[in-house]
Amino acid sequence: MRILATSDLDPMDSDIQPFFDNLKKQKEPDLILFAGDMYNWRQLKRYREIAKFIDKLGWKCPIVAVPGNREFDEDWPKVKENTGDRITFLYDDVIVLDIKGEKVGIIGSRGILDQPTVWQMGNVVGIVDEYSHRLALLKDLLKKTKCDIKIVLTHYSTTYKTLEGESDRLYSLLGSNKLEETMIKTKVTMAVHGHAHYGTPFAFVEGMPIYNVAFPLNDGVVIIDTDKLPKEKA
């Protein structure tokens, strides 16, 4: 299965033509994953613009997305309304797709921060409890989801290893490694995230591939072939 994944178009603000130009160079994948921050501050029609462009390319593949930190909770219903059923949005939820004869389970969430940001502490009531609840929920979803290929899709990083390149003082503000153990035990095939624009594009956690697909970091979209996933050297 060939996956196209990306996130973090927010630095482009109102002009995402470089993203569209990059898509034109690709062949149709079997699945598209968006790991959040596909727009910058309340550009609520952005996902509709992206969906229309993908349809214009003639691509029929499923698209699955999760919210980033730029995409506020209160905007999510309108974002969904703008795209109809073309994009499946996961908010601490799971979907199992049948792709090329395999059951592909995607556990999707904004993700977890080990330390809420100053803005979150001042503007999101109960944010500490929210992250604690989300961690428990995601662990439960990981344990219950039965499929051939299991993918964790989040905006925030699910390991500190793909944060290397960022200041280590910021790691707890960019992601969490609290899901690592459960992902390993439940045999996650791979994890995909964004958010860390200056991090590391790829890392292993006990042999499990973790992809940081932030567009600015990779200078384009990321293509992942699940039949040719990299293996960690002994």
**Structure confidence by residue, pLDDT tens digits, 22-40:** 999 999 999 999 999 999 8
Query: What gap in Å lies between CA 205 and CA 74, rounded to an integer?
Result: 34
Question: Would residue 32 count as lying in a domain?
Answer: yes
Q: Which residue has the tokens 């990779």?
A: 218
pLDDT at 42: 83
Residue 76 pLDDT grade (very low, low, confident, very high; cuts 50, 70, 90): confident
pLDDT at 233: 82
Q: Is the dihedral of CA 100, 31, 138, 174 positive or negative?
A: positive
Question: Would residue 151 count as lying in a domain?
Answer: yes
Is residue 63 a contact partner of residue 97, using CB atoms and an 8 Å limit? Answer: no
Question: Would residue 233 count as lying in a domain?
Answer: no
Q: For the segment 204-233, what is each residue's pLDDT rounded down to a tens digit?
A: 999 999 999 999 999 999 999 999 999 988
140 is in which domain, residue-wise?
Answer: 2-228
Residue 172 pLDDT grade (very low, low, confident, very high; cuts 50, 70, 90): very high
Radius of gyration of the chain (CA): 16
- Domain tally, the chain: 1
Question: Would residue 22 count as lying in a domain?
Answer: yes
Question: Would residue 100 count as lying in a domain?
Answer: yes
Question: Would residue 171 count as lying in a domain?
Answer: yes
Q: Is the dihedral of CA 91, 182, 153, 35 positive or negative?
A: positive
Question: Would residue 54 count as lying in a domain?
Answer: yes
Q: What is the pTM of this model?
A: 0.97
Question: Would residue 234 count as lying in a domain?
Answer: no
pLDDT at 156: 98
Q: For the segment 130-154, what is each residue's pLDDT rounded down to a tens digit?
A: 999 999 999 999 999 999 999 999 9
Q: What is the CATH number of the domain that holds 8?
A: 3.60.21.10
Query: What gap in Å lies between CA 14 and CA 86, rounded to an integer?
Result: 22
Give the chain's mean pLDDT.
95
